[in-house]
Structure 1
């Protein structure tokens, strides 16, 4: 893996801008979740409702603003936009600090929505600007660093957000933390080099609904890039399904406590980072990414691993009480399930990093931000579909093991669909 570019100005500041942004998002989000769960909700039912509402509030801006954000990023110079977005983050976090200190649910949710808006505007830029600063042969590594660090940032933000806010004076500490991280993100943005000039002739569509429909329709002009979008979004469906069910899987199927849940989240993040690193080490050159077989084989491998994990879960003998990490690791079926989580995440890193690179190199410069916006909208849609899918199966009285069997089968069907559709990758760009 060639990392010679990592410490250069064309990559290092941008890396920290996106890392600190992802960290701050999850720092605030998990602090909010913990406050709702342990202090603000009057009942477990109300806590569940508010946490579900929070997830929806954060993801809504990606549907509303991604297409508009993509147009802005293609029209104007991207580095200037990054700095404005990071400055806006400081203002949002000032409001967030106030919300944490007052513990106002309404204000906390308003800040969460604004954070979603900020992320929706930054998303199309960070992947679109990368090919302007890195050579083609460096893109796989650059995307690998982005993917790996994003999941590490999510994990660290989740841990710190949940731990700090519930300590004595935790609201003050968390308010200070989110402000400091936002300021550091803005400082890093000042070192990002200027990007290529935007398309001044592009007309920005202010009608958000019409804008979204228009940009989604243009995806057909770039079938290879949109194939990458569909594949990336499918992994987000799988990832959202697994991540949302980790607490249930650990507690109900494996008998582990909250520390074991954290262990699973850590292993998942490490797996993504490992897969992203392996993608940079062993993937073929960018020009050879038009071979769809690697994608199909990885999806099939994920289904096989899910089946192995389910079979191991059936061998777990539950104790009377939830067990900690040391006791959990003494049971071989539980260790097997943990290893399957690592493999699924590793395959996911191998799967998505080349696809982000394919999206970048198969989309012309003048449309690249908008294609990333299309990707973000599709990702968000598949994550919502994942939630609906899980709720529907639970409504039909499926248990978690049956749900995971269903996911494995559905994943195989998608793999074969991609294999059939993969001929689009052999078309001229």
Structure 2
């Protein structure tokens, strides 16, 4: 869609009311939590021990409902219409914040902590709806941009909520009253906006809800593990929460001990990380060319690792001065390095987490998505608690300094990422494909998002110009593609590992290796039976002169066994590539005439299997390619 960008979603009713509702919810949660902590810990005159007890009890009370009720919340989100559920949760927020307001006005910690538990319950119910409504409201090619906006909105809302919540308690003796009015007003605003969210039908209206938390929690975790890519995307997101918790929990003391300031520098550090995350989330759509590009995940993991580790080397010891203002800190030697590290950890965290959410949404069956998100929330809660506990152990038991904790988080991120990518090599393969195609080419895509089916089996047919064709096509089609390729191309060093990782299907001619050919047709049929996309190059070989060769009858043999839609595609501009056979032979490749050459991938509407003869498809592909060899 030429000229499209994710910000156009903010003009559409199918997205804007939901975006504002969830942003207001995140903002209000953090206004309340920070105002409550300021009141209890600093303004009620409690003993140091009582203040510390309440400060540690607060996050536990907020996260406890995620363990107890996430599985039930996932079932409810699956069974009922989602816009109505959002209105129910925003109504709950009004009631809960009214209770909180009483706690503020009467300055009663027990009421405030009880309301905090209920806030966690409301967030638990909202979570599965928040991420499962997006695939219903957005087109598949909008998922990355939509998730980027949601993550950006959440990051900025959390930051602003913390600042506003703290500030409200500093307006004098009326601070608690102002906070009480603010949280109720924000809750009412969220409800009013939620009324504009369009209807989102139930994904599984006949689902029977199990009210046994433990049994259903185990059930949703089994759903999470059904698909390997989804399971490891969930693990990756949980690690994001572990890393974020481990870093942000250290920032208040880091600002005081290692940056030489206090609250203002803490807010600066938090702002750099939060804004960085928001910026990285927004950039995902541009970098992914509007596909669910999991190739960004390794890039994000690498960046988080590098800049977490560099935070240690930027200032391993304590600050040379104390009581610094923001301006004084910025003027200190080495301060810019620290600020850049904090911001870039956030940017790469955005690259890392947004494609993982989009992958879960695009690969999970629609009638299971809410429950998978519920399973994700359970696992996130486990990782958040683990991060808090390990942070305490690292400092109190092992005696690590805060920069050493950052170093440990960076190293652990590298290890966890390597484990995930070794289990699911598709992540790393997509990363290589993304890097290679964007380094060598500027790809223009026409019709792919409109004509390649979002789900179910399909056969893609395309002209065959260069050794990079499969990687280039794979980088532009949102769904995983099983390529059928000549076995000698499949065996090319380096590329062979990528093709095997992508589960490409090697094939040979009937005279060359009839056994391999039959094995290939069986594998193609099985892939289509499993609902996958298979891509073939019906010419059977790379073009030697830039022209399209006759299409062989293998495509008809495939469709005779398994009638599926066939999407004609054509590559334009690849004949001048260093990877084609123009003026070269394999093993003696030319230096390319220019890097970032402009190439095009064009797709036509799918044909029914009965109409998709070799001759018809050849005619369509020739017309799509035109004169642009």
> How does the TM-score come out when normalised to structure 2?
0.66
Question: 8 Å contact 1:316–1:331 — kept in the other structure?
Answer: no
Greater fraction strand: 2
Which residue number in structure 1 is paired with residue 208 of structure 2? 203
Partner Cα distance (1:62, 1:79) in 2: 21
Tell me, what secondary structure is at the counterpart of 2:6?
coil
Is 2:109 the counterpart of 1:105?
yes
Change (3 A) 1:209 1:317: closer
Is 2:249 the counterpart of 1:247?
no
The alpha-carbon deviation at position 97 of structure 1 amounts to 0.7
Which residue number in structure 1 is paired with residue 304 of structure 2? 302
Question: 8 Å contact 1:140–1:279 — kept in the other structure?
Answer: yes
Partner Cα distance (1:18, 1:70) in 2: 17
Alignment of 1:62-81 (within 5 A): 62-81=66-85
Partner Cα distance (1:377, 1:279) in 2: 26
Question: 8 Å contact 2:300–2:350 — kept in the other structure?
Answer: no
Tell me, what secondary structure is at the counterpart of 2:334?
helix
Question: 8 Å contact 1:151–1:269 — kept in the other structure?
Answer: yes
Greater fraction helix: 1
Partner Cα distance (1:278, 1:156) in 2: 21
Is 2:8 the counterpart of 1:4?
yes
One of 398, 413, 416 as aligned partner of 2:415: 413
Partner Cα distance (2:378, 2:289) in 1: 28
Partner Cα distance (2:339, 2:292) in 1: 36
Change (3 A) 1:2 1:42: closer
The alpha-carbon deviation at position 411 of structure 1 amounts to 1.4
Is 2:357 the counterpart of 1:356?
yes
Partner Cα distance (1:152, 1:357) in 2: 20
Query: What are the Cα deviations for residues 51-78 of structure 1, in whole angstroms up to 9, with x where unaligned?
Result: 1110100011111111100000101111
Question: 8 Å contact 2:79–2:205 — kept in the other structure?
Answer: yes
Is 2:118 the counterpart of 1:117?
no
Partner Cα distance (2:394, 2:45) in 1: 27
Query: What are the Cα deviations for residues 198-251 of structure 1, in whole angstroms up to 9, with x where unaligned?
Result: 422211010112111111122222322222111111111111011000011111
Partner Cα distance (1:287, 1:161) in 2: 36
Which residue number in structure 1 is paired with residue 222 of structure 2? 217
Question: 8 Å contact 1:152–1:270 — kept in the other structure?
Answer: yes
The alpha-carbon deviation at position 334 of structure 1 amounts to 2.1
Range 395-404 or range 245-254, more displaced: 395-404
The alpha-carbon deviation at position 410 of structure 1 amounts to 1.2
Is 2:17 the counterpart of 1:16?
no
Question: 8 Å contact 2:311–2:407 — kept in the other structure?
Answer: no
The alpha-carbon deviation at position 298 of structure 1 amounts to 2.4
Which residue number in structure 1 is paired with residue 514 of structure 2? none
Partner Cα distance (2:102, 2:285) in 1: 42
Is 2:275 the counterpart of 1:274?
no
Alignment of 1:141-220 (within 5 A): 141-168=145-172, 169-220=174-225
Range 188-197 or range 35-44, more displaced: 35-44
Range 189-198 or range 108-117, more displaced: 189-198
Partner Cα distance (2:423, 2:65) in 1: 31
The alpha-carbon deviation at position 286 of structure 1 amounts to 2.9
Is 2:62 the counterpart of 1:37?
no
Of structures 1 and 2, the one with the larger relative CO (CA 8 A, separation 6+) is 1
Stretches of structure 2 lacking an aligned partner (at least 5 in a row)? 428-501, 504-529, 533-629
Question: 8 Å contact 1:75–1:200 — kept in the other structure?
Answer: yes
Tell me, what secondary structure is at the counterpart of 1:225?
helix
Question: 8 Å contact 2:299–2:348 — kept in the other structure?
Answer: no
Partner Cα distance (1:118, 1:2) in 2: 29
Tell me, what secondary structure is at the counterpart of 2:71?
helix
Question: 8 Å contact 1:35–1:166 — kept in the other structure?
Answer: no
The alpha-carbon deviation at position 316 of structure 1 amounts to 6.6
Change (3 A) 1:315 1:48: closer
Question: 8 Å contact 1:273–1:346 — kept in the other structure?
Answer: yes
Change (3 A) 1:83 1:310: same
The alpha-carbon deviation at position 41 of structure 1 amounts to 5.3
Question: 8 Å contact 2:80–2:201 — kept in the other structure?
Answer: no
Question: 8 Å contact 2:93–2:119 — kept in the other structure?
Answer: yes
> How does the TM-score come out when normalised to structure 1?
0.95
Which residue number in structure 2 is paired with residue 262 of structure 1? 267
Partner Cα distance (1:31, 1:399) in 2: 29
Partner Cα distance (2:248, 2:293) in 1: 32
The alpha-carbon deviation at position 196 of structure 1 amounts to 2.0
Which residue number in structure 2 is paired with residue 325 of structure 1? 326
Change (3 A) 1:331 1:287: closer
Is 2:380 the counterpart of 1:375?
no
Partner Cα distance (1:388, 1:117) in 2: 22
Residue-pair matches, total: 425
The alpha-carbon deviation at position 166 of structure 1 amounts to 3.1
The alpha-carbon deviation at position 46 of structure 1 amounts to 2.7
One of 379, 396, 401 as aligned partner of 2:403: 401
Question: 8 Å contact 2:141–2:292 — kept in the other structure?
Answer: no
Indicate the RMSD between aligned Cα atoms, in angstroms: 1.6
Question: 8 Å contact 1:256–1:323 — kept in the other structure?
Answer: yes
One of 28, 34, 46 as aligned partner of 2:50: 46
Question: 8 Å contact 1:256–1:322 — kept in the other structure?
Answer: yes
Alignment of 1:331-342 (within 5 A): 331-342=332-343
